[in-house]
């Protein structure tokens, strides 16, 4: 039988035994490098779950369509679409979320930029700022130049991950009703992070 345990950050993790079927994740990202580099860094044992991360460089609506096509080719247990509000139209952003949910996919969006998730590791941010300001803010928070496509950022932020999750949750609570395209800043990246954490033994 599967057991649960808590990791060093206090989160309940699902212990998966070898008799259980692997969870197969498909994570399709709007960005070609930033988001894929982050999610590929999760240390999920291959005998527990398979994670297919793809950086497609597409707008949100096209991204969801690509996820649908990829899921037809190989059936996944969980499909996640990762994209930003960025400069995309409200219609494109909203339709992408709606279409993803209609397919049974999950969405890890950021309004306005994925870098909001990184900032939340350091501080609670509830004021919308331009995309370019996130880069300057992260440079200040890291105490060095922020590298957008860093392959080590997961490890650099790991110890603060619990803080980021709480900040993201508290940020969403501030919006009622919750309207993703208008709620700036906001993110649901923590939901995907928490799901992946269940499979880290």
pLDDT score for 201: 74
Closest CA to 50 of 32, 75, 67: 75
Region of residue 16 (left: phi > 0; alpha: psi -120 to 50; beta: else): beta
Distance from C-alpha of 141 to C-alpha of 118, rounded to nearest angstrom: 10
pLDDT of residue 6: 44
The pLDDT profile of the chain, 201 residues, written as one tens digit per residue, is: 443 444 444 444 444 444 465 899 999 999 999 999 999 999 999 889 999 999 999 999 999 999 999 999 998 999 999 999 988 999 999 999 999 999 999 999 999 999 999 999 999 999 999 988 999 999 999 999 999 999 999 999 999 999 999 999 999 999 988 899 999 999 999 999 999 999 987
CA separation for the pair 106, 97 (Å, rounded): 8
Cβ atoms of residues 141 and 163 within 8 Å: no
- What's residue 152's pLDDT? 96
Distance separating alpha carbons of residues 99 and 91, to the nearest angstrom: 12
The total of structural domains in the chain comes to 1
Phi, psi (rounded to 5 degrees) for 83: -155, 165
Residue 175, domain extent: 3-197
3-state secondary structure 26-61: EEEECCCCHHHHHHCCCCCCCCCEEEEEEECCCCHH
Predicted local confidence at residue 7, as pLDDT? 46
Q: What is the CATH number of the domain that holds 176?
A: 3.40.50
CA-only gyration radius of the chain, Å: 17
């Amino acid at each position: 039988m599967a057991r649960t345990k808590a990791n060093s950050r206090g989160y309940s993790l699902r212990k998966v035994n070898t008799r259980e079927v692997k969870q197969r994740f498909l994570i399709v990202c709007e960005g070609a490098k930033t988001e894929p580099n982050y999610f590929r860094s999760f240390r999920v044992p291959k005998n527990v779950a398979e994670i297919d991360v793809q950086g497609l460089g597409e707008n949100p609506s096209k991204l969801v369509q690509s996820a649908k096509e990829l899921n037809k080719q190989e059936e996944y247990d969980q499909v996640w679409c990762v994209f930003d509000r960025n400069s995309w139209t409200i219609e494109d952003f909203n339709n992408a979320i709606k279409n993803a949910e209609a397919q049974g996919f999950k969405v890890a969006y950021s309004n306005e930029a994925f870098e909001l998730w990184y900032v939340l590791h350091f501080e609670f941010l509830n004021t919308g700022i331009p995309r370019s300001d996130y880069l300057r803010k992260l440079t200040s928070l890291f105490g060095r130049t922020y590298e957008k496509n860093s392959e080590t950022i997961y490890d650099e932020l790991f110890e603060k991950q619990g803080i980021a999750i709480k900040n993201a949750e508290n940020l969403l609570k501030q919006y009622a009703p919750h309207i993703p395209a208008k709620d700036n800043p906001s993110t649901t990246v923590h939901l995907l992070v928490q799901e992946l954490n269940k499979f880290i033994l």
